[in-house]
Amino acid sequence: MKTLFLLRHAKSRAKDETLPDFERPLNRRGKRVAETVGRYLRANAEAPDLILSSPAERARETVEHVVKAVKWATEVRYDQRMYAADGMGLAEVVRQIENDRQAVLMVGHNPGVEELLLLLTGKIKKVLAGSIAKIKIKGPKWANAVDKRATLEWLVTPRELEG
């Protein structure tokens, strides 16, 4: 069995015509939520073998704040394919994860994150900025995940974490 933690980046600054979308940073609440996600993961999840993230600034900052709070010494890879990817694009990233990795945290964007959750589990869920899901994948290979052979164990929103 494999474990995929699927995290939508935390809340970013509003769109600003002077700043490209790729460069938009987290806002104050987003930074706070990312640290809260990290503390939640420290208490409720095993450390992943790998963190895969979109290279967009808001995703990078989310990773930094989560890792700082959770205190993991986990390899982080930024994958350009994850920026603006739809569910099928993210599924291709999942298929290519090395099979010796047992648990992976992916940090991405909507609508791709919601679409990937649907592809993997068959569940339609609203994934708000800063929400984290734990998905169990049946089988020894990451490629099996996309055959709806995965189960959503939990999905936690920022409001639930801060509440």
For residue 148, name the pLDDT band (cuts at 50, 70, 90): low
Cβ–Cβ under 8 Å, residues 42 and 69: yes
pTM of the entire predicted model: 0.95
Domains and CATH numbers, the chain: 2-162 (3.40.50.1240)
CB atoms within 10 A of CB 117: 26
**Mean pLDDT for all residues in the chain:** 94
Q: What is the pLDDT of residues 18-69, one digit of tens each?
A: 889 999 999 999 999 999 999 999 999 999 999 999 999 999 999 999 999 9
Whether 146 shows a pLDDT value over 90: the answer reads no
What sign does the dihedral 66-68-74-79 (CA atoms) show? Answer: positive
Q: Which position has the token pair 């987290």?
A: 26
The Cα 112–Cα 51 span in angstroms is: 17
| Element holding 136 (H helix, E strand) | strand 132-137
